[in-house]
Amino acid sequence: MLESTQSLDVEALVDRARSLWHDASDRASMARVELFAKAAVRCRVARGLDGTGARSDCVRESGLAIRTFRAGDDHAGFAAASGLSTEVARWVVDAAYAYRAQTPALAPSPSDSVAEERWDLDDAIPLPSEEILTAGLIARPHLEWVEAGTTVEVLIGAEGWLAVRRRHRLWALGGAPEARLVAQRGIANWEQLLDESGAHDRFGSYPVTADFHVLVLTPSAAAPVVAALVESFHGKDSAEWVKSGDGWDVVDEPARLDGLSGGSFDDAGFPAVSRVLAADGFWVGQIGGPGTYRRGSFRQPPEESPSNLVMVARESEALPARAVIARRCRVLRASSDLWVLELDLANVGNGCDLDRRWVRVQPRALMAACSSRLGRSRVTPSGPIVPALRFDGLTLG
């Protein structure tokens, strides 16, 4: 099925998944069967311990998950395992059939109009070879490692319809003095991404004694904050309104061409469409329902969650004259009403060193403090496509 560690045969994987689905459906004769198969190849080249040579790790991975739907049950059975053999599929369907109420049973119904086949494929181009990745790494002393990979996912619904997705992605980590992870969808211009991993952004370094009431998060630092706020205030169980700052403007765009995840259908087979969550500080909508079902991995059932969170840039917004710039942020959720932001601040007083500080903040106050968006939006390694964000009125902890 897998031609090499550098390519995937999509047609062969589809044929294999169909064969396994038919076998599983016959085996679970009293239930309808949904099958999700995944195969991936990835190659990582990392700098050697002596800082000169390089070592590589190229692997192939595969697995499948099955949901079983029985008449009268409001939940579905679910199980998953690595591998795509007949033996693995039979074990998985038996486990899913035996544990019949593990996961929500939401899926397109037999009466829904679902195309017999749907193909959402990145271009059929090969990944850079191990030798080419190694050359790219060695030519850039700032790089720690670079990784290229392709993933193919095949979903076969209980009625036998087919949905196929292929994605190429590339990652790179720049090293000291300021480690920086970058990522992109697709392979085109991949060497430019490697160069960007060592480039400085347009945000300067400010003394940490500057007015902390103005905090600017670079795109990479803003991404986890955006994801956390969306989960808290635009999730399926969130309230329908919360006060936001003027800079809070978010859309979930599953079909975004540069998005690291998502696509034209979700992981339960529903068509996926863009959803406006907030517009210029006003609450508009939330994540939930058909079109928002995602799998964190093939080992997990589909759950309601965002795909590509996008914040529109405001190129006209100028960087404030005095602010603290955070180049990394980790959101620590102490409780539903108290978060701690772990910030790495660029400190001009210590040269290139990063000064780590913590900010205690209520999530609602953080949402209200988001006053503006700065610069262009960037694809961040954690997924959100965001510009830098300005927050006003926070207090250094």
Q: How many CB atoms lie within 10 A of CB 29?
A: 8
How confident is the model at residue 4, as a pLDDT?
43
Strands 324-335 and 250-252: unpaired
What 3-state class would DSSP assign to 111? Answer: coil
Cα distance between residue 54 and residue 137, in whole Å: 8
| Rounded Cα–Cα distance for residues 341 and 339 (Å) | 7
* pLDDT at 375 (0 to 100): 87
Q: Which pLDDT does position 212 carry in this prediction?
A: 63
Q: Where in the chain is the domain with CATH 3.30.2290.10?
A: 10-121+146-167
d(CA 33, CA 66): 7
The tokens describing 30, both together, are: 């009293």
Q: In 3D, which of 209, 198, 201 has the Cα closest to residue 347?
A: 209
What CA–CA distances, in Å, run from 240 to 18, 226, 232, 235, 284?
42, 18, 11, 10, 8
C-alpha distances out from residue 95 to 98, 112, 181, Å: 5, 28, 39
CA distance 200 to 385: 19
d(C-alpha 376, C-alpha 372), whole Å: 12
E-strand ranges in 255-353 read: 275-279, 282-283, 293-294, 303-304, 309-310, 324-335, 338-346
Given this model, what pLDDT does residue 351 score? Answer: 46
Asked whether the beta carbons of 270 and 298 are under 8 A apart, the reply is: no
Phi, psi of 25 (to 5 degrees): -65, -40
Sign, CA dihedral 129-177-189-168, equals: positive
- Alpha helices, H only, 103-242: 130-138, 190-196, 219-233
Per-residue model confidence (pLDDT) at position 194? 86
| CA distance linking residue 21 with residue 227, whole number of Å | 35
Cα–Cα distance measured from residue 14 to residue 25, given in angstroms and rounded to the nearest whole number:
16
Q: Does domain 10-121+146-167 have CATH number 2.60.120.260?
A: no
What 3-state class would DSSP assign to 107?
A: coil
C-alpha span between 281 and 367 (Å, rounded): 9
pLDDT at residue 316, rounded to an integer? 61
Per-residue pLDDT of the chain (397 residues; tens, 9 = 90+): 334 445 789 999 999 999 999 999 999 989 999 999 999 999 999 998 776 778 999 999 999 999 999 988 889 999 999 999 999 999 999 999 998 777 888 999 887 888 999 999 999 999 999 999 999 999 998 899 999 999 999 999 999 999 999 999 999 998 766 678 999 999 988 998 888 766 655 554 444 445 567 899 999 999 999 999 999 999 987 866 778 999 999 999 999 999 999 999 999 999 999 999 999 899 999 999 999 999 999 999 999 999 999 999 876 666 676 778 888 999 999 998 899 999 988 764 444 566 888 889 999 999 999 999 998 899 999 999 999 999 998 875 5
